[in-house]
A and B are shown apart, each in its own frame.
Chain A
Amino acid sequence: MNINKFNYLNLILFILLTIWIFLIYFDLLSKYIPFISIFSPAIKNLFSLLCHQESNKVFTLDNHSTFVCFRCLGLYWGALFTSSLLFAFRNLYIQANKTIFFISLILIALDVVLVKLNVYNYNIYITFLTGFLLGFICFLYLYKSIFEQLSNKKNIDE
């Protein structure tokens, strides 16, 4: 597969992710573009399938909030960040590693359990970062799968 095809694939994923993140911030944007607020309830309802949307765990500004919590926000930003990096470092997907994937899952589980046990209070930065790491590694896996398929390789590591 040549570099152009590689970049096209990443560009498509990048655009899709950008649209997705745009939808997450839709309510915040409606603060500046009032008319679009009419669509907010429908989009919020759609995202309620993806996230608990607890009011104390979402980013809020002047009564307008994101449609997902900080962890989910981290997940999508992590994926978008990886997509951006792939434009510059096209071999980054080779780094997709099962160990990192499971570590990121364990970190999320650990954060949830420790907060529930009141070891520490809900921290937006920790929450965001744990989501970010999972988003980062998930996007590498997703990209690797599609890339392998398009380049007709059985296994990229071979």
Chain B
Amino acid sequence: MNKKYISPFVSGFAAGVLQIVPLLKGFACCLVIPAAAYFSLLLDKKANKSEENISFKKAAVFGILTGLTAAIFATVFEVIITLITKNNDIVFALPELNKMFSGMPVDPKIKQELINIMGNIAKEIKTHGFSLFYTISILFNNLFVNIIFGFIGGVISMQILNKRKDIS
């Protein structure tokens, strides 16, 4: 790996770990991912002893890479935990989801199809500890959200870090 991108990788890994901690899970993108993007830029600045202002391109790339790394690691950890415990949020929330689908004012065939899909996912997880559909869906969700918030975190951090230099 290019040494230039070690800091987003390290921060992304840390964020990926925090993203599976139950209490922090809900704040992952709101706080954890932007903070990880900030630390990736800060680490890089410290490691290179750079006095120069961070460019937009660098901030954006570091933010996106942090989000990307966090998404991949969070998904991998989630899959491993599910594989070991054979249980996860979807199994836990299945009765509530079924209730929600039953109450939907849509075609009964579609409703049944949705209930079947969720039931199959839960069954696969309970028996094998793995569901391809579930894995793909969490990977897609993590990638979509983490990359957006990584980018936002990166460009906001750029302003904070650059400004700090101007003041000192």
Which A residues have a C-beta under 8 Å from some C-beta of B? 34-35, 37-38, 40-41, 45-46, 48-53, 72, 75, 96, 98, 101, 138, 141-142, 144-146, 148-149, 154-155, 157
Contacts and interface: CB of A to CB of B under 8 A. Distances in A.
Contact of A35 (B26, B106, B146): B106
Interface stretch (B2-10, B121-129, B152-160): B152-160
The 4 closest A-B CB pairs, nearest first, are A52-B26, A34-B105, A149-B56, A145-B155
Interface of B: 19, 25-30, 53, 56-57, 59, 97, 100-101, 104-106, 110, 114, 137, 141-142, 144-146, 149, 152, 155-156, 158-160, 162-164, 166-167
Given A38-B104, A50-B28, A52-B26, A141 B156 contact: yes
Contacts of A141: 155-156, 159-160
Given A49-B29, A50-B30, A154-B53, 20 more contacts: A34-B104, A41-B101, A45-B137, A45-B141, A46-B145, A48-B26, A49-B19, A49-B142, A50-B26, A50-B28, A50-B145, A51-B26, A52-B26, A52-B27, A138-B156, A141-B159, A142-B152, A145-B59, A148-B56, A155-B166
Chain A at the B interface: SS class: helix
Contacts of A144: 159
Contacts of A142: 152, 155-156
B137 to A, nearest CB: 8
A112 to B, nearest CB: 11
Contact of A38 (B30, B110, B144): B110
A157 B164 CA distance: 13
